[in-house]
Amino acid sequence: MQTLREEKGPPLPLSSMRLFIPPLRLVCAALWQVVERRDIMDYGLLEEFATSVLEIVPELMTYRERVQLLMGLRARLVLELCRCDDELCRPDTVQPHLNRIRSCVSNQKGEVSDPKVEASEASFMKLIETLLEQPEERELFFQETLAWMEGWRREQRE
């Protein structure tokens, strides 16, 4: 699949570009609502949109910034799936999201790998494996760790 940057031929005329603006504004407004409402189950949509934008304009972020954003959105969704209930916390439900995280970490277009990014991914994958395989560890993790994080976030907002 080719992106807009890879297609051959003359650039789109300005009059054609104006047709893209209203739908783009609509998508951005909808995604902003996801962020404002902290609708974690839709963070995958945010990650896909950010990926698309960054494929078109890769110079917006460095490799590390891009991976932190994309991995963070998808990781938060995975943690929410693990937290919700046993029906959603299954390998077959979580695996597509883990694959997406791996794909955003993998080097593309000749980028230099970052050991910190790779270590972060490996730690997260190990955590999710533990949460999936050990329900008692999962319960403890969400009671203690995420409760602490939510309290910290509230303090930061105040």
Question: Where is average pLDDT lowest: 64-68, 69-73, 122-126, 151-155?
Answer: 151-155
Q: Where are the alpha helices (DSSP H) in the chain?
A: 14-37, 43-56, 63-84, 91-105, 115-133, 135-157
Looking at residue 46, its pLDDT comes to 92
Looking at residue 128, its pLDDT comes to 93
Looking at residue 56, its pLDDT comes to 85
DSSP code for 4: T
Q: What is the pTM of this model?
A: 0.72
Backbone angles phi, psi at 5, to 5 degrees: -70, -30
Placement of tokens 């959603």 in the chain: 88
CB 79 within 8 A of CB 121: no
Q: Is 80 helix (H, G, I), strand (E, B) or coil?
A: helix
The total of other beta-carbon atoms located within 10 Å of residue 68's CB is 16
Work out whether the CA dihedral 130, 131, 136, 140 comes out positive or negative. positive
Question: Where is average pLDDT lowest: 9-23, 55-69, 78-92, 108-122?
Answer: 9-23
Mean pLDDT across the stretch 51-72? 89
Number of residues assigned to the chain: 158
Q: What is the largest CA-CA distance in the chain?
A: 59
pLDDT, greater one: 84 or 99: 99
